[in-house]
């Protein structure tokens, strides 16, 4: 699972990518996307390590892609055109960076592709390009889907039905995620289309350093749009986050205190992106390692075991499980067992976020 960072030129999305991943990027702004991994900040790992002394702490990770080339007219081949669209179709969720800052760190002006700051217009520009790209794809796919109907398969029928249902939505300039499906085959077909406007979105307002809370007029436009479409919203000052990412821990803590904030905004962003992808964490804890493992929301205990090793899923017997909250309250696994909080769960158990697990298996 991976999230892609998109936005118009000069929005600060590549600065954000560098701060998130600590990875260098092509300074010339290449055709290929920048790809990196971000650790998911998780204070629950510190709780586990405090009560279960360990040699190593391992965070969950998320793959982030900085996708270049989106400009007005991308759906018609402007900018990187088809290259941009092929990159964005491969991601699972979109982090849409919107410019809400006025000046660069030194005070110099940063040009805007449309000549003025207007976050609501910029959002519309980006999203219209994605919708138009999807419209072209759907219009081109319908004739092929009609030919495939000669096979009279349920899969072909579902694909054609979805294409016919989503076409009028896109034609009205609305995103594909406005189509609500209930039939399992149609849901599967919709996922297979990989329409870019069907992907979940997190809006990131890249703000000036005097509006870290995103309460200003520009960021408020982004917040209002996110609320209207039921999407997430995070205000970030990318240039401050880039500075924080370069500092040693002690200096970073001092800078955060001077700014009056508890943690870097990138921590909030990373966790929001993780949730956007429908992911959650469970933990294993011992003297060698305390580790967060990534699973989809709704995963069963055997599937969680398989995240560690496929043999664990194949030979799953049961899982001993308790919550991080239990450990924080009772301070040891021994006390958790004595309090009757250590549960034995079988193959049908649906995992909860913050479960701590000991898997029993036989292979």
Return the pLDDT at 352: 96
The answer to whether 12 touches 97, Cβ cutoff 8 Å, is: yes
Return the pLDDT at 70: 66
Spatial CA neighbour of 303 closest among 287, 292, 314: 314
Task: Round to whole Å and give the CA distance between 192 and 361.
Answer: 34
| Burial of 156: CB neighbours in 10 Å, binned 0-12, 13-18, 19+ | middle
Query: Which ranges of the chain have pLDDT less than 50?
Result: 79-80
Sorted by where each starts, the structural domains of the chain and their CATH numbers stand as: 2-275 (3.40.50.300), 298-361 (3.10.20.30)
Residue with the two structure tokens 């205190």: 257
- For 249-298, what is each residue's pLDDT tens digit? 899 999 999 998 888 998 999 899 999 999 999 999 999 999 999 999 99
Return the pLDDT at 109: 63
Percent of the chain with pLDDT over 90: 65
- For 58-84, what is each residue's pLDDT tens digit? 999 999 988 876 666 555 655 445 565
The answer to whether 320 touches 342, Cβ cutoff 8 Å, is: yes
Return the pLDDT at 166: 96
Q: Which residues lie below 8 Å from residue 127, measured CB to CB, with a gap of 6+? A: 175, 197
Return the pLDDT at 77: 53
Report the DSSP beta bridge partners of residue 295: 280
- For 190-216, what is each residue's pLDDT tens digit? 999 989 899 999 999 999 989 999 999
DSSP secondary structure string for all residues of 241-280: HHHHHHS-HHHHHHHHHHHT-SS-HHHHHHHHHHHHTTEE
Return the pLDDT at 1: 80
pTM: 0.86
Return the pLDDT at 293: 97
Task: Round to whole Å and give the CA distance between 141 and 160.
Answer: 9
Read off the tokens for 27: 């300074």
Task: Round to whole Å and give the CA distance between 260 and 278.
Answer: 31
Angstrom distances, CA of residue 56 to CA of 45, 59, 122, 287: 11, 10, 44, 8
Return the pLDDT at 76: 62
């Amino acid at each position: 699972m991976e999230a892609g960072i998109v936005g118009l030129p000069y929005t600060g999305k590549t600065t954000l990518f560098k701060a998130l991943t600590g990875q260098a990027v092509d300074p010339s702004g290449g055709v290929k996307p920048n790809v990196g991994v971000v650790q998911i900040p998780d204070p629950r790992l510190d709780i586990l390590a405090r009560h279960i002394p360990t040699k190593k702490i391992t965070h969950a990770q998320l793959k982030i892609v900085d996708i270049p080339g989106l400009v007005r007219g991308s759906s018609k081949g402007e900018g990187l055109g088809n290259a941009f669209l092929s990159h964005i179709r491969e991601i699972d969720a979109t982090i849409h960076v919107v410019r809400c800052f006025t000046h660069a760190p030194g005070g110099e002006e940063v040009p805007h592709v449309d000549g003025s700051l207007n976050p609501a217009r910029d959002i519309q520009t980006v999203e219209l390009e994605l919708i138009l790209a999807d419209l072209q794809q759907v219009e081109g796919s319908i004739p092929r889907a009609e030919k495939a109907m000669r096979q009279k398969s349920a899969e072909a029928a579902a694909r054609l039905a979805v294409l016919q249902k989503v076409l009028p939505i896109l034609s009205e300039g609305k995103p594909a995620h406005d189509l609500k499906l209930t039939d399992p085959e149609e849901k599967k077909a919709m996922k297979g289309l990989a329409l870019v406007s069907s992907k979940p979105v997190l809006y990131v307002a890249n703000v000036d350093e005097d509006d870290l809370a995103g309460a200003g007029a520009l960021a408020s436009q982004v917040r209002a749009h996110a609320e209207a479409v039921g999407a997430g919203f995070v205000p970030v000052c990318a240039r401050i986050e880039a500075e924080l990412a370069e500092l040693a821990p002690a200096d970073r803590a001092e800078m955060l205190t001077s700014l009056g904030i508890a943690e870097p905004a990138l921590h909030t962003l990373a966790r929001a992106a993780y949730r956007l992808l429908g992911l959650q964490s469970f933990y294993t804890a011992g003297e060698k390692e305390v580790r967060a493992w990534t699973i989809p929301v709704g995963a069963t205990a055997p599937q969680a075991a398989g995240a560690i090793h496929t043999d664990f899923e194949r030979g799953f017997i049961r899982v001993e499980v308790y919550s991080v909250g239990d450990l924080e309250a009772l301070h040891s696994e021994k006390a958790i067992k004595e309090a009757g909080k250590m549960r034995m769960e079988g193959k049908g158990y649906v995992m909860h976020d913050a479960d701590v697990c000991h898997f029993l298996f036989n292979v």
